[in-house]
Structure 1
Amino acid sequence: MNLRDFKIDIPGEDIEDLIRRLRATRLPAALDAQKWDDGASLHFIRRLHDHWSNRFDWRTQEARLNRLPQYLARIDGLDIHFIHQPGTGPAPMPLVLTHGWPGSFIEMERVIPLLADPAAHGGDPIDAFHIVVPSLPGFGFSAPPKGPGIGARHVAQLWLKLMNELGYERFGAQGGDIGASVSAWLARRFPAQIIGAHINYIPGSYRPPLGPGLPPVTTQEQTYLDAVAAWAGREGAYAAQQGTKPQTLAYAMTDSPIGLAAWIVEKFRAWSDCGGDVERVFPMEELLTQVSLYWFGRMLDASFRIYKENWLQPLTFEASERVVPALGVAAFPRELPMPPRSWVERVFNVQRWTAMPRGGHFAAMEQPQALAQDIRAFFRPLRG
């Protein structure tokens, strides 16, 4: 596996280049600088630009992130970056956590200690996990794919090899957004090695079998399908672009840090339980750390292209298919459109479905305590 220790160390010239580009920023006009109706608010982006240019210190964030135990592993010819935090308890369960877009491994920073050492955070040590948090290929510090075909389905195979190389023959999986797709593919493709999968999002490409001889679509399910279609027409332009012409988008985002920030921060506002005030949930420093990670990675083409790969390999099923490992779902109220439980149970072995009181798409960042508690509760009966 060629396992190596890893520390983040962005070259000084890259930081200086970022500052130069920020100082040369050319902002657009807006019909109303305050509003987000047409996309990222000009007023907010001006404040973000000022903070990023004059007060944000990447080295401070870098030092904080370097307190996490990070490694690189060579898997199928790709250098995969990951965090590996051994658990503290009588029998920790191995658990791989997978992030999504526009997030990164930083999404899991707050839940890692809650899951690895529950006793230190008011929990029961019997619920401890050995935590592994890989960065998706082309995200963070993981190498980009060398060719086509690396979507969530293939990433599941990479994660299986990584976990097995770390000595974990059987393990649990958890994730949201793209991470939910990876976790679902792990359960589908490798049922003998997956103890269970817990997700806080139902992958957009998931489609159970329908048609003659199968239960008809219920009223609740049709309401969900209508909501998905309405949401796609209102909010789905980003996914259509990333899923069809990711390379064209990558030129603009690779060249303009403010363009990249606007593209990402708009989603943190729109998809979170922030009531329209993104900084109520994500401080400016946190937003800029996420954006800076994408900027310094210089792999925006790959981070966009995974949408295209997932569209080409959707999570669709044959009439007789059932996914055997237990599935747990934490449904957060401000998540993107979520189906009723019956829609998921057409294929998956749903053992736990929790309607969470608050939180949105970035659950591990927004509600780490609540998410950690639900993960512990789901896996508790699966231990041993």
Structure 2
Amino acid sequence: MTKQQSREAMQLSRRSLLFGSAGVALSAAALPNVALAAEVATPALGADVRPFKTEVPQAALDDLRRRLIATRWPEGQTVADRSQGVQPEKLRALVDYWQTAYDWRRAEAKLNAYPQFLTEIDGLDIHFIHIRSTNERALPLIMTHGWPGSVFELLDVIGPLTDPVAHGGKAEDAFHLVIPSIPGFGFSGKPTEKGWDPQRIAAAWDTLMKRLGYLSYVSQGGDWGAIISDALGRQAPEGLLGIHVNRVERATTFPPDAAKALMSGDAAPETLSVDEKVIFNEARDFLNNGFGYAAIMSTRPETVGYGLADSPVGLGAWLYDKIADWVFTRGDPESALGRDALLDNITFYWLTNTGPSSGKIYWENAAGMAKLSPVRVPVAVTVFPGEVYKPPKKWLAKAYPDLVYYNQVEKGGHFAAWEEPELFSQEVRAAFRGLRS
């Protein structure tokens, strides 16, 4: 059987599982491995790009509810604060709503409101949303989510970026948007071989943009999206005009003496100003008290993955903990995002069984940090006050030789597009304004 015949057979199998009677009769054990979307060949798009629609079998939702009801809860904390992790009363309230009132079909409809596609790059299916602005002179932009997020965290900026006039902006600030799911996340394929680090993903993103006909474009990201955008900037493929990030990597932007002190556990160097020492101490506190999740996934993603694949509450707690840590309203993601938005993201991880696979990017990245080279394209940075690391402009100017935009805003956290979509969109427009032809 040829590769093309094998792919067609797999697609036929997926469609029969979703739409035939066999799909209803799937066992609970098999549900996590089921493809959760319909693929329809459209000759107008060519064989390389296939339309995609999210359609989760009801059996998968029924299985989720059964597992939520059967949760075995731990005894609880011995402290009154968040120092031991997610507080039981917070998680129990969220899970009760998840089990009794949350509606995935609403989330599914929100996702399906935008054109979705699959395309194979470097042997792996990449899922992406593609929205063209009605302004034909719009600037193509590939925008990447992070962990513990997904494409859901970027949906609310689609309108402001593709149709800025309707959101208080100017027509000349419009973008054509491409929003991919990182390999191992969402509906993108799960790597079956090692090597899918940010550098390889960045190269795949360039292939994706060129495949869609965008010969010049810009890239944006926060969290892993920022690291992938940085990797694109280091590769500087033909046509990449610049990048904008709302999170920067400490290892490449700290002054050398501060970076050395941070990694050795020493106090802030006296060469730093009072304000710079505050930034240093916040970064050190994060490494000492908030970095355990990354240490686990950088070294043992498979081990923690068994629990994430088997227990929706275990998965929910794992994701909720870091969302709570990083939103502007520290410890209170419900007020920053709302229960439904939190559960859209958590349920997306559960239904695609990507709790385990999404963690492997940490393992992949750990080996590549020593290979970093300078970013070779224009760079724009927005610092949100709730971000874990908030470097001053002079640090970034040394790390990024062509820093064309820097701004500190007054609200928003690590999940800037999710928490403050209008403000985030204004920053993206301003960041790339000088790079338009």
1:115 match: 161
The alignment status of 1:337 with 2:389, answered yes or no, reads yes
Rounded Cα–Cα distance in structure 2 between residues aligned with 1:132 and 1:204: 27
Matches within 5 A, 1:59-138: 59-138=105-184
Partners of 1:351 and 1:90 in 2: how far apart? 25
**What is the Cα deviation at residue 204 of structure 1?**
4.5
Does the aligned pair in 2 maintain the 1:22–1:258 contact within 8 Å?
yes
Q: Secondary structure at the match of 2:358?
A: helix
Distance apart, 1:239 and its partner CA: 0.6
Alpha-carbon separation, structure 2, partners of 1:306 and 1:31: 31
- 1:45 maps to amino acid: L
2:347 & 2:321 partners in 1: Cα distance? 15
| Paired residue type of 2:199 | R
Identify the match of residue 231 of structure 1 among 283, 286, 289. 286
Q: 1:128 to 1:255 in 2, by over 3 A?
A: same
**CA deviation profile, 1:15-71 (whole Å, cap 9, x unmatched):** 111111111101111235863221001001111111111111211211121101111
Contact 2:115 2:129 in 1 (8 A): yes
State which structure, 1 or 2, has the greater radius of gyration over its C-alpha atoms: 2
Is contact 1:208–1:346 with CA below 8 Å preserved after alignment?
no
- What does 1:171-186 correspond to in 2, within 5 Å? 171-186=217-232
The whole-number CA distance in structure 1 between the counterparts of 2:318 and 2:341 is 16
Give the match for residue 353 of structure 2: 298
Per the TM alignment, residue 205 of structure 1 is displaced from its structure 2 partner at its CA by: 4.7
Matched letter for residue 367 of structure 1:
E
**How far did 1:14 drift?**
1.3
The alignment partner of 1:336 has SS state of coil
Partner of 2:14: none
Q: TM-score, normalised by structure 1?
A: 0.93
**1:38 maps to which residue?**
84
SS of 1:141 mapped into structure 2? coil
Q: Is 1:147 equivalent to 2:177 in the alignment? A: no
Matched pairs, number = 377
Percent identity for Structure 1 against Structure 2: 39
Q: Give distance in 1, aligned partners of 2:103 and 2:370.
A: 41
TM-score (normalizing by structure 2): 0.82
Match of 2:333 among 265, 273, 278: 278
**Is 157-166 or 23-32 further displaced after alignment?**
23-32
Whichever residue aligns with residue 11 of structure 1, its letter is P
Structure 2: tracts of 5 or more residues without a match:
1-46, 258-268
Tell me the distance in 2 between the aligned counterparts of 1:285 and 1:54.
13
Quick one: which amino acid aligns to residue 59 of structure 2? Answer: E
Instruction: State yes or no: 1:370 paired with 2:423.
Output: yes
Cα shift at 1:313:
0.9
Aligned-residue CA RMSD (Å): 2.0
Which structure's relative contact order is higher, taking Cα pairs within 8 Å and 6+ residues apart? 1
The 3-state SS of whatever aligns with 1:328 is strand
- Shift, 1:305, TM fit: 0.8
Q: 2:411 is matched with which residue: 355, 358, 362?
A: 358
Query: 2-side partners of 1:208 and 1:26: how far apart?
Result: 44
In the TM superposition, what is the alpha-carbon distance from 1:224 to its structure 2 partner? 3.9
Q: Residues 217 and 105 of structure 1: is their aligned pair in 2 closer, same or farther, counting only changes over 3 Å? A: farther
Q: How far apart are 1:324 and its partner, in Å?
A: 2.9
Alpha-carbon distance in 1 for matches of 2:155, 2:59: 27
Task: Look up the equivalent residue of 2:304 and give its one-letter code.
Answer: L
Q: Is the 8 A contact 1:206 1:315 kept in 2?
A: no
Within the candidate set 235, 242, 250, 1:196 is matched to 242
Q: Which moved more, 1:83-92 or 1:232-241?
A: 83-92
Quick one: distance in 2 between partners of 1:168 and 1:92?
Answer: 11
CA–CA separation in structure 2 for the residues paired with 1:195 and 1:208: 25
1:160 is aligned to 2:206: yes
The match for 1:323 is: 375
Gaps of at least 5 residues in structure 1 are none
Q: How does 1:250-289 map to 2 (within 5 A)?
A: 250-289=305-344
Within 1, Cα distance between the matches of 2:403 and 2:128? Answer: 29
**Equivalent-residue separation in structure 1 for 2:296 and 2:101 (angstroms):** 33
Amino acid at match of 1:15: L
Check whether the contact 2:253–2:399 (CA below 8 A) recurs between aligned residues: no
The one-letter amino acid paired with 2:375 is V
1:73 and 1:209 map into 2 onto residues whose CA distance is: 41
When residues 161 and 255 of structure 1 are mapped into structure 2, their CA distance, relative to the original with a 3 A threshold, is same
- Taking the aligned partners of 2:394 and 2:270, their CA distance within structure 1 comes to 10
The equivalent residue for 1:22 is 68
